[in-house]
């Protein structure tokens, strides 16, 4: 646990008692704060009561009187589409609103660091797609290189559940836009931006607000190094804003699919080969085509970002390359579940939006595509140019017929549920085919998370 510093003897309110909220409450108490907490969910309140936290309905008049701060969990809207009523109450009472990410950055460094030979570092990763894989890959590379490391944030543990730093440690944080948007303190040593595609637009009032939330990780804390994916205009804009001019190696540009040139520092992947360029010269190259845990161009982009982040802290290219080959990938992200009679079964349930599904579809050929679910804003039009490798679609979800109608001339079958879709795809599949779950939609019409949807796919495959 990271005890929160700066609130000893003060009253701090915590709104939301899920994983991050309870973690923040414990760390605040460990740091000497008096915690008052609330969650609209009765089970969450009961769990907090069992841990001895005082409950107080924070939306009631006067509930925040005397509070030094309000800590808000990431799932609770603080501005769009409308501020939570407790957040409004904090504004009216003049109580600062913050989150656990900010508490971590304020509390991670301690006087004990004065005795360390190598200062601990924080690598923070954000973006629309690939941030989980990139974060896990960085952590894996560090582990392979025998560097002390911990992984937390939007993946793994809550940030305040981390152990206190030790000499030379590197903490890897995956941060969502919900987390970066509200945090008052954001001071990573290395910040990584993977890419930007439409997602969570209701929480940020459109693409501009969404990008602004991501940008805060770079603009607020002034990281020593920035790794920026430049395959979209927003990334190119961000890289340009952060750079002091040609040859500024504080900014490393990353791309998948095109060669980057110029006097600066860049890492790109093209036709399956990763190249590192510095001052106009290639200094390293890695063949990614045989890396089983990183299939497809989208994973090659993740590999470039992780490679660049690890190079900033001094790891050698061959050490990173060796670690790539032992990386198994993450569940529900281009996860090879099984291979039977020459047919591969791949679980990419995390492909909850059109862009991530398009990238998954480009990673394979002869695809039997399981898709559908709760469709997100923007429709499926942007996905249609990427269906060339799909032999047939098998559509699931409560609105499967309407989803199927938007697939144009693509051969398809409305299956509604996962059991039927997997069975029909397996019956139709021929040697060399890939049965791919890449829904291009949220899971909440039939499942409570993309993980549960992926687990259902795996269970159906295992029953074949």
| Helix 354-362 / helix 296-312 crossing angle, nearest 10 deg | 100
Taking alpha carbons only, the member of 353, 16, 375 closest to residue 210 is 353
Where are the extended beta strands (E) located within 31-161?
34-38, 54-55, 67-72, 97-98, 121-126, 149-153
Find out whether 132 is annotated in a ligand binding site: yes
Find out whether 133 is annotated in a ligand binding site: yes
What distance in Å separates the CA atoms of residue 175 and residue 188, rounded to the nearest whole number? Answer: 11
Residues 6+ away with beta carbon under 8 Å from 354: 197, 198, 376, 378, 379, 380, 382, 383, 440
SS3 242: helix
Find out whether 214 is annotated in a ligand binding site: no
Consecutive H or E run containing 346: strand 343-347
What distance in Å separates the CA atoms of residue 357 and residue 443, rounded to the nearest whole number? Answer: 14
Find out whether 344 is annotated in a ligand binding site: no
What distance in Å separates the CA atoms of residue 187 and residue 37, rounded to the nearest whole number? Answer: 27
What distance in Å separates the CA atoms of residue 336 and residue 348, rounded to the nearest whole number? Answer: 9
Taking alpha carbons only, the member of 177, 173, 203 closest to residue 188 is 173
What distance in Å separates the CA atoms of residue 320 and residue 310, rounded to the nearest whole number? Answer: 8
* Percent helix, strand and coil across the chain, each to the nearest 5: 35, 25, 40
Consecutive H or E run containing 270: strand 265-270
Residue 14: CA atoms inside 13 Å, Cβ hemisphere, count? 28
Diameter of the chain by CA atoms?
A: 68
Find out whether 131 is annotated in a ligand binding site: yes
What distance in Å separates the CA atoms of residue 177 and residue 204, rounded to the nearest whole number? Answer: 9
What distance in Å separates the CA atoms of residue 178 and residue 21, rounded to the nearest whole number? Answer: 14
Where are the extended beta strands (E) located within 3-77?
11-15, 34-38, 54-55, 67-72
Region for 241 from its dihedrals, namely left if φ exceeds 0, alpha if ψ lies in -120 to 50, beta otherwise: alpha
Q: Taking a C-beta distance cutoff of 8 angstroms, is the pair 4, 103 a contact?
A: yes
What is the Cα 6 distance to its own chain's centre?
A: 29
Consecutive H or E run containing 93: helix 85-93
Which residues are part of a known binding site? 127-133
Q: Which residues belong to the annotated binding site for ATP?
A: 127-133
């Amino acid at each position: 646990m990271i005890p929160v510093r700066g609130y000893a003897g003060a009253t701090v309110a915590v709104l939301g008692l899920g994983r991050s909220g309870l973690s923040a409450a414990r760390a605040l108490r460990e740091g000497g704060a008096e915690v008052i907490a609330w969650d609209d969910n009765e089970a969450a309140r009961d769990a907090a009561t069992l841990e001895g936290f005082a409950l107080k309905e924070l939306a009631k008049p006067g509930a925040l009187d005397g509070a030094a701060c309000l800590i808000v969990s990431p799932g609770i809207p603080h501005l769009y589409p409308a501020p939570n009523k407790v957040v409004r109450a904090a504004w009216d009472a003049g109580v600062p609103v913050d989150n656990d990410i900010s508490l971590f950055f304020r509390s991670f460094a301690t006087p004990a660091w004065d005795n360390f030979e190598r200062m601990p570092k924080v690598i923070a990763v954000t973006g629309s797609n690939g941030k989980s894989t990139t974060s896990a890959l960085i952590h894996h590379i560090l582990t392979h290189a025998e560097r002390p490391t911990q992984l937390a944030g939007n993946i793994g543990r809550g940030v305040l559940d981390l152990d206190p730093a030790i000499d030379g440690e590197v903490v890897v944080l995956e941060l969502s836009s919900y987390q970066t948007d509200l945090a008052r303190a954001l001071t990573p040593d290395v910040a990584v931006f993977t890419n930007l595609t439409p997602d969570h637009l209701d929480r940020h009032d459109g693409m501009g607000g969404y990008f602004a939330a991501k940008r805060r990780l770079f603009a607020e804390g002034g990281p020593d190094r920035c790794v920026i994916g430049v395959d979209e205009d927003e990334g190119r804009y961000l890289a340009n804003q952060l750079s002091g001019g040609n040859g500024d190696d504080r900014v490393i540009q990353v791309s998948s699919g095109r060669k980057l040139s110029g006097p600066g520092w860049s890492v790109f992947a093209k036709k399956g080969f990763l190249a590192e360029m510095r001052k106009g010269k290639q200094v390293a190259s890695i063949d990614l085509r045989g890396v089983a845990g990183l299939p497809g161009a989208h994973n090659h982009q993740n590999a470039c970002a992780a490679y660049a982040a690890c190079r900033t802290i001094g790891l050698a290219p061959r050490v990173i390359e060796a670690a790539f080959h032992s990386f198994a990938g993450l569940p529900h992200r281009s996860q090879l579940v099984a291979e039977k009679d020459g047919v591969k079964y791949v679980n990419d349930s995390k492909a909850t939006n059109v862009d991530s599904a398009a990238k998954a579809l480009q990673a394979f050929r002869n695809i039997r595509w399981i898709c559908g679910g709760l469709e997100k804003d923007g429709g499926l039009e942007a996905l249609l140019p990427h269906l060339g490798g799909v032999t047939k679609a098998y559509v699931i979800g409560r609105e499967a017929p309407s989803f199927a109608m938007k697939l144009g001339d693509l051969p398809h079958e409305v299956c509604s549920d996962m059991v039927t879709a997997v069975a029909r795809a397996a019956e139709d599949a021929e040697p060399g085919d890939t049965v791919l779950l890449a829904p291009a939609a949220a899971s909440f019409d039939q499942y409570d998370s993309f993980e549960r949807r992926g687990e259902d796919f795996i269970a159906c495959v295992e029953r074949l």
